[in-house]
């Protein structure tokens, strides 16, 4: 089974509101986490990353929070815009090894006008 998963397959928010997308991971050995955005017909696009020695990291309109105690990752998008509509994936990297990233199944973010 997958060690990374998302709680909700679809999230609908009003334009201008903040969005929060959640992700659970089960492998405590994971030391690097990334959020990707995938628009229709395109490949996953890097949004923001965080290492396991951090709890929070901010980017432009996005914030990633990492709670290692409960193995939970979240992506917060401020002032959601129509262009934020996409599928969002969290991904984890296990410490060591060359296997690349393990992805969750994704959450579809829908922006209501």
Partner 1 sequence: DSGVTQTPKHLITATGQRVTLRCSPRSGDLSVYWYQQSLDQGLQFLIHYYNGEERAKGNILERFSAQQFPDLHSELNLSSLELGDSALYFCASSPRLQPNNSPLHFGNGTRLTVT
What residue ranges bind partner 1 (CB under 8 A)? Answer: 2, 31-32, 34, 36, 41-46, 49, 51, 89, 91, 93, 95-106
Report the residue number, 1 or 113, with the smaller CB distance to partner 1. 1
Cα torsion at 78, 31, 29, 87 (round to 10°)?
Answer: 40
CA distance linking residue 50 with residue 62, whole number of Å: 12
Smallest separation (angstroms) from partner 1 to the CB of 16:
28
Residues in the chain: 113
DSSP state of 7: S
CA distance linking residue 1 with residue 26, whole number of Å: 10
Report the residue number, 16 or 46, with the smaller CB distance to partner 1. 46
Smallest separation (angstroms) from partner 1 to the CB of 89:
7
Smallest separation (angstroms) from partner 1 to the CB of 11:
17
The Cβ of residue 32 has, within 10 Å, a number of other Cβ atoms equal to 14
Report the residue number, 73 or 113, with the smaller CB distance to partner 1. 73
């Amino acid at each position: 089974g997958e060690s990374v998963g998302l709680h909700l397959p679809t999230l609908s928010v009003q334009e201008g509101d903040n969005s929060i997308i959640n992700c659970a991971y089960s492998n405590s050995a994971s030391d690097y986490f990334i959020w990707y955005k995938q628009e229709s017909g395109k490949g996953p696009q890097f949004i923001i990353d965080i290492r396991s020695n951090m709890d929070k990291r901010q980017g432009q309109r996005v914030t990633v929070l990492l709670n290692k105690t409960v193995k939970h990752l979240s992506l917060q998008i401020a002032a959601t815009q129509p262009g934020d509509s996409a599928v969002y994936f969290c991904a984890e990297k296990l410490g060591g090894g060359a296997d690349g990233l393990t992805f969750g199944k994704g959450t579809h973010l829908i922006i209501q006008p």
